[in-house]
């Protein structure tokens, strides 16, 4: 009844091609933005920021990045952790080499550097496909982690091989380092996530996104109708790595503050982001958000329910968590292979007919 196109007339082309053509959707979107920007910063505390919201925002950026490559362009990548490490180490080197430049630009620059590295490792995708490409990106994952562990220049020759983020401010407010306020780090990441989502959404709706999808659906056919596979695949790698690099930089500088490459950006990180994309929904920006929220929140919820409410031993809760997350992933893949985003789509279709289905 409320969720329908009828009665909402577009009188300009801009209006006609907007992201949310349905009025209800549009207002819901504005409401979410308003709550995220104007309400949450006032009620947030350290626990909510560091345990739930920061990881969610940062993983959502990484999931958007991987979704562009895997969901839209169809190139399976297991190198997300390695590319996040590139973002983190680029950000660290930039922060320490140019302390006077604003951290905001460092994060963007780290994204650009990661994009360059991504293109380099994307080159084999022109010759190999599917599982073989997955193995090639796996090589990137292991090589990059090894590189950052092996070459002391990347961690400024510190004795422990750890990198730690120095204090940096934005408009006089600290966003990295130990003395940050929860709302500042939250807003900083939220701005990046909002920007990333808007850019990604509009890219995937435009020419570039359509060439990616053409390559994903059938690359030979796409080539015949005039899509340049070199350009399509390499742009997908570059843009995907750009977002992944930004998330790596934020993960290191804002969220954790100190990382060790093998532990923070190992292969399990690549799988985690891949699971987010698969559970959330391949080829959907909303799916990236849903997948990130699901995999960040679920362990915390299980822990709070199991250990804090029922007082079960912590090791049993940790094991249960593995069981439940694993079980849910399998259940999802069987019952809804298109992920949470598909559930959302079905719900919207139903809502459109409500309350008078045929």
User: Tokens for 286?
Assistant: 């909303």
* 69/277 Cα distance (integer angstroms): 11
Residue 175 has phi, psi (to 5 degrees) of -115, -15
| Least CB distance to another protein at residue 80 (A) | 16
| Residue number, 264 or 282, with CB nearest to another protein | 264
Shortest approach of another protein to residue 192 CB, angstroms? 19
Report, in Å, the least distance between residue 1 CB and another protein.
43
The residue to which tokens 């997948």 are assigned? 291
Rounded CA separation 113/41 (Å):
31
Q: Please report how close the Cβ of residue 345 comes to another protein at its closest, in angstroms.
A: 32
The residue among 16 and 263 lying less far from another protein, judged by its C-beta, is 263
Quick one: which of 343, 347, 335, 217 has its CA closest to 287? Answer: 343
CB closer to another protein, 314 vs 331: 314
Please state the closest distance from residue 81 (CB atom) to another protein, in A. Answer: 13
Angstrom distance (rounded) from CA 94 to CA 89: 8
Closest among 302, 293, 346 to 32, alpha carbons compared: 293
Helix (H) or strand (E) run with residue 173 in it: strand 173-176
By beta-carbon proximity to another protein, the closer residue of 133 and 307 is 307
Between 234 and 244, CB nearer to another protein: 244
- Check if the beta carbon of residue 106 is closer than 8 Å to that of residue 129: no
Is the Cβ of residue 115 or residue 250 nearer to another protein in the bound state? 250
* SS3 label, residue 236: helix
Closer to another protein by Cβ: residue 159 or 330: 159
- Spatial separation of the C-alpha atoms in residues 238 and 89, rounded to whole Å: 18
Q: Name the residues that contact another protein, by CB under 8 A.
A: 46-47, 50-51, 55, 149, 159-162, 164, 166-167, 177-179, 256-260, 262-264, 266, 300, 303, 307, 313-315, 317-319
Nearest CB to another protein, comparing residues 99 and 337: 99
Smallest gap from Cβ 257 to another protein, in A, equals 6
Closest CB 53 distance from another protein, rounded Å: 11
Task: Compute the distance between CA of residue 17 and CA of residue 21 in angstroms, rounded to an integer.
Answer: 8
Q: What are phi and psi of 168, to 5 degrees?
A: -135, 150
CB of residue 156 vs another protein: minimum separation in angstroms? 10
Which among 253, 347, 235, 341 has a CA at the least distance from the CA of 292?
Answer: 341
Estimate the crossing angle of helix 229-250 against helix 182-205, to 10 degrees.
Answer: 170
């Amino acid at each position: 009844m409320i969720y329908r196109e009828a009665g909402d007339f577009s009188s300009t082309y801009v209006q006609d091609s907007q992201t949310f053509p349905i009025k209800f959707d549009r207002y819901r979107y504005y409401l979410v933005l308003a709550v995220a920007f104007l309400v949450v910063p006032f009620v947030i505390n350290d626990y909510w920021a560091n345990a739930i919201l920061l990881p969610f925002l940062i993983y959502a950026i990484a999931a958007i990045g991987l979704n562009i490559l895997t969901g839209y362009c169809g190139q399976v990548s297991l190198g997300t952790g390695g590319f996040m490490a590139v973002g983190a180490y680029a950000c660290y080197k930039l922060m320490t080499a140019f302390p006077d430049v604003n951290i905001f630009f460092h994060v963007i620059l780290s994204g650009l550097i990661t994009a360059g590295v991504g293109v380099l490792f994307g080159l084999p995708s022109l010759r190999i496909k599917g599982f073989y490409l997955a193995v090639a990106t796996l090589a990137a994952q292991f090589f990059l982690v090894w590189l950052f562990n092996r070459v002391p220049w990347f961690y400024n020759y510190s004795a422990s091989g750890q990198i730690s983020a120095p204090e940096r401010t934005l408009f006089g407010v600290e966003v990295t380092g130990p003395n940050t306020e929860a709302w500042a780090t939250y807003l900083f990441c939220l701005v990046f996530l909002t920007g990333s989502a808007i850019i990604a959404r509009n890219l995937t709706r435009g020419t570039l996104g359509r060439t990616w999808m053409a390559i994903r659906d059938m690359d030979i056919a796409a080539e015949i109708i005039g899509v340049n596979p070199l350009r399509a695949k390499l742009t997908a790698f570059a843009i995907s790595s750009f977002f992944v690099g930004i998330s790596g930089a934020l993960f290191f500088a804002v969220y954790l503050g100190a990382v060790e490459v093998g532990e923070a950006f190992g292969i399990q990180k690549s799988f985690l982001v891949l699971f987010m994309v698969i559970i959330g929904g391949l080829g959907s920006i909303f799916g990236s958000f849903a997948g990130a929220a699901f995999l960040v929140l679920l362990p915390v919820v299980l822990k709070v329910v199991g250990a804090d409410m029922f007082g079960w031993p912590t090791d049993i809760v940790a094991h249960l968590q593995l069981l439940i997350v694993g079980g849910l992933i399998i259940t999802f893949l069987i019952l809804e292979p298109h992920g949470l985003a598909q559930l959302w789509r079905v719900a919207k279709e139903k809502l459109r007919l409500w309350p008078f289905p045929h």
